[in-house]
Amino acid sequence: MPNERTRKVVVTGVLGAIAVFLGLTRLGFIPWFTGASLTIMHVPVIIGAVLEGPVVGLGIGFIFGAFSMLQAAIAPTGPADVWFTNPLISVIPRLFIGPVAWWVWHTLERWPGISLLIAGVAGSLTNTILVLGAIGLLGLLPWPAMLPIVAFNGIPEAVASALLTLAVVGAYRRLPRRAQGARL
């Protein structure tokens, strides 16, 4: 049990640090034709949840959200960043990414590849829908203006998240089997 807890804490810290690294270096933002960037900063949350469970996903989501809030306050990159200084927009929605992704993966895990793809989509759309929902509920952007954001940014982010989740988790899960199969 202590080794399992230690592993979960380490995975939370490492994947949380990767999410922060993606934000600090701007590597987590893919330039997109809409003028806004596609973000993949939520992918470590999805991967952590699938590998280690919903609590780890919640922890990484908290790190991602807290970093998002701090970055918006300290080094904003656009006029809408001021909205992300509100934890109802930057932190609370990110807490649900991991548990939703884990639940989807766990429900469909008998189909490994499909479950990873759908978990990646579900985690990404959870981020998109809850962040935009909070922005809409707070009256910062009219609801009709959000549909193009979902269509032109949210859907491509979900596809990218699905592919990255499948690639990373698939590779990680295969490594121990290969290592065990090769007797030295």
Segment 88-133, tens digit of pLDDT: 999 999 999 999 999 999 999 999 999 999 999 999 999 999 999 9
Query: Which stretches within the chain are classed as H helix?
Result: 2-25, 43-52, 54-74, 87-90, 97-108, 112-137, 146-149, 155-181
**pLDDT score of 178:** 44
**pLDDT score of 110:** 95
Beta pairing partners, 30 = 38
Token look-up 């993949």 returns 40
- Does any domain span residue 140? yes
In Å, what is the CA distance from 105 to each residue of 166, 175, 180, 182? 11, 20, 25, 29
For 55-76, write each residue's pLDDT tens digit. Answer: 999 999 999 999 999 999 999 8
Domain that holds residue 108: 2-174
**pLDDT score of 182:** 42
- Does any domain span residue 180? no
Total structural domains within the chain: 1
**pLDDT score of 78:** 85
- Does any domain span residue 63? yes
Per-residue confidence band for 29, with pLDDT thresholds at 50, 70 and 90 = confident
| 68: CATH | 1.10.1760.20
Per-residue confidence band for 184, with pLDDT thresholds at 50, 70 and 90 = very low
